Chain A
Amino acid sequence: DAKTTQPNSMESNEEEPVHLPCNHSTISGTDYIHWYRQLPSQGPEYVIHGLTSNVNNRMASLAIAEDRKSSTLILHRATLRDAAVYYCILRAALVFGAGTILRVKS
């Protein structure tokens, strides 16, 4: 199964942009890159997904490397409510890695 690698944790100041990286060097040509986030004691929440092109929605932007071996989730202005564990998964694999714990400082 194709797997993803993310940093264990990251910290950001409120109102500043956050770039959360994800490596997926064994991604296949048809795997979409999905991002979810999870607050304590809640189910994961969908954030964004994409295949090759950069994607934008109300919550975030997703920048995908040209070779698709890595991607970056961008939160344009972090708020305290964005503090969560962020997971990057390849939909075909349905395998959740450890994710990145994002801490946001006020």
Chain B
Amino acid sequence: GAVVSQHPSRVICKSGTSVKIECRSLDFQATTMFWYRQFPKKSLMLMATSNEGSKATYEQGVEKDKFLINHASLTLSTLTVTSAHPEDSSFYICSAGQGTSSTDTQYFGPGTRLTVL
């Protein structure tokens, strides 16, 4: 199957700093990527849809000014957690697919563990 990578795999930062997470589709182009957050023993929660060349679409309750998404190319989307606080500590996962129709399979990255001290 297609490969999606994330960098870094884990990051520890101080409260108030910003952290950037990269999501790359390695062997295919993705016009749309998705960002999820997962708390311990919980399911994945969709945060936003990242669209290449246009603004991201955020789910209800997700602050767009806090979670900045940039989809600069067909193989790269970045999520920046601005002014991170301990409650932002979570497992962040991206996914990408070759299309957005119901039949298209999403391929997930390995996730990024963010710990805010």
Contacts and interface: CB of A to CB of B under 8 A. Distances in A.
Contacts of B105: 34, 46, 49
Q: Is the interface of A mostly helix, strand, loop or mixed?
A: loop
Interface in A78-101: 87, 90-92, 94-99
- Report the interface size class on chain B: 20 to 34
B44 A91 contact: no
Contacts, number: 54
Contact of A36 (B102, B103, B108): B108
Contact of A95 (B46, B103, B113): B46
Interface stretch (A13-21, A37-45, A61-69): A37-45
B54 interface: no
Contacts of B106: 34, 46, 91, 94
B108 A91 contact: no
Nearest to B101: A91
Contact of B102 (A30, A96, A98): A30
A60 B24 CA distance: 28
Of the candidates B93, B101, B102, B113, the one having the most CB atoms from chain A within 10 angstroms of its own CB is B102
Given A46-B1, A96-B43, A99-B43, A91 B111 contact: no
Given A42-B111, A43-B109, A44-B93, A91 B103 contact: yes
Nearest to B49: A94
A43 B108 contact: yes
A31 B102 contact: yes
A42 B4 CA distance: 12
Contact of B103 (A42, A45, A49, A99): A49
Given A36-B108, A91-B104, A95-B46, 14 more contacts: A31-B102, A32-B102, A32-B103, A34-B105, A41-B113, A43-B108, A43-B111, A46-B1, A46-B107, A51-B103, A94-B34, A94-B106, A96-B44, A96-B46
25 contacts: A31-B102, A32-B102, A32-B103, A34-B106, A36-B108, A41-B91, A41-B111, A41-B113, A42-B110, A42-B111, A43-B4, A43-B6, A43-B93, A43-B109, A44-B93, A44-B108, A46-B1, A46-B105, A46-B106, A90-B102, A91-B101, A92-B102, A96-B43, A96-B45, A97-B43
